[in-house]
A and B are shown apart, each in its own frame.
Chain A
C-alpha cells in the first residue's frame, strides 16, 4: 500500500517570506500523480498544484512550486511571498491510475501553516 508522510505538523513563516513544506511517499509504482491540497478554516479542500511522475519538470502555479525528486520519493511545496491568505492546513496526496479508473487519493496527515504578519 502507498503511504504519504508529512514530517512537519506545523510551520510558521513571516508574511512575504518563503516557506517549504516537506512530503515523502512510498510506492512501488512508476506511474503516478502527486498533489498538494490546501484546507483553510472553512474546511473546503482546494487543489494547489499537481505533478505527473513521468514529467521531470517541476510544476509551478504562480507563487507555488514543487521540488519533485522521483528517486528520493520526495515532493516538497515551496510558497514564495507568503500571504495571510495562505494560512491553512496543507495536505500532500498520492494517486495512481489502475486502468479501471481513478482509485482515490492517499493523503498525508497535513502541515498546519501559520503566517505571521
Chain B
C-alpha cells in the first residue's frame, strides 16, 4: 500500500541532545513537508522540499534542520537550539502542482525531559 511512514511513534530524549525523526513515502510525490502541532495551535510549517536536494524554511524553522537526498525520504533533526521541542510532529507529501491533496503520516510524539 502506498503511504507515508513516520518513525518512531513516540520518542523521548534528554534536553540538549539532537534527535532525528524519520519520514518515508512511496507515493512518488515530489513535495514533502514537516509540521509541528501543539495543543490549541493547529499545525505550523517547519520546512518543506519541492524536489530532491532542495528545501525551504517554513514559518518556524529555527532549531530544526532537514535533508532531502532521496525523493522518498525527508528526515527532520530537532537540534538542541530548539527551545521547546516537546510536540507532535507530522510529515506530509503531495504532488508539486498547487491545490493537490497533502497526505500525512501518523506522526511522532517527541518528549524532551
Query: Which of A's residues lie within 8 Å of B, judged by CB?
Result: 1, 4, 6, 9, 33, 35, 42-45, 47, 50, 52, 91, 95-98, 100-110
Judge if B107 is at the interface, Cβ distance under 8 Å. yes
Judge if B2 is at the interface, Cβ distance under 8 Å. no
Judge if B81 is at the interface, Cβ distance under 8 Å. no
Question: Per DSSP, are chain A's interface residues mostly helix, strand or loop, or mixed?
Answer: loop
CA distance A47 to B51 in the complex (A): 23
Q: Which of B16-24, B69-77, B95-103 contacts A (4 or more CB under 8 A)?
A: B95-103
Number of A-B residue pairs at CB separation under 8 A: 72
User: Contact: A104 with B58, CB < 8 Å?
Assistant: yes
CA distance A21 to B44 in the complex (A): 21
User: Contact: B42 with A108, CB < 8 Å?
Assistant: yes
User: Contact: B99 with A91, CB < 8 Å?
Assistant: no
Task: Report B31-51 CB contacts with A as 1/0, cut-off 8 Å.
Answer: 101010000111111001011
Q: Find the B residue at minimum CB distance from A54.
A: B99
CA distance A45 to B37 in the complex (A): 12
CA distance A102 to B51 in the complex (A): 11
- Least CB distance, A88 to chain B, in whole angstroms: 14
User: Contact: A102 with B98, CB < 8 Å?
Assistant: yes
Query: Which of B's residues lie within 8 Å of A, judged by CB?
Result: 30-31, 33, 35, 40-45, 48, 50-51, 56, 58-59, 88, 90, 92, 94-102, 104, 106-107
User: Contact: B45 with A44, CB < 8 Å?
Assistant: no
Q: Which residues of A contact B102 (CB under 8 A)?
A: 45, 47, 102, 105
CB-based closest 7 A-B pairs: A97-B98, A101-B50, A33-B99, A45-B104, A101-B96, A107-B42, A109-B42
Q: Find the B residue at minimum CB distance from A96.
A: B98
- B88: contacting residue among A43, A95, A106, A107, CB under 8 A: A43
User: Contact: A97 with B58, CB < 8 Å?
Assistant: no
- B96: contacting residue among A4, A52, A102, A110, CB under 8 A: A102
User: Contact: A100 with B50, CB < 8 Å?
Assistant: yes
- Least CB distance, B31 to chain A, in whole angstroms: 5
- Least CB distance, B94 to chain A, in whole angstroms: 6
CA distance A17 to B95 in the complex (A): 36
Q: Which residues of B contact A44 (CB under 8 A)?
A: 104, 106-107
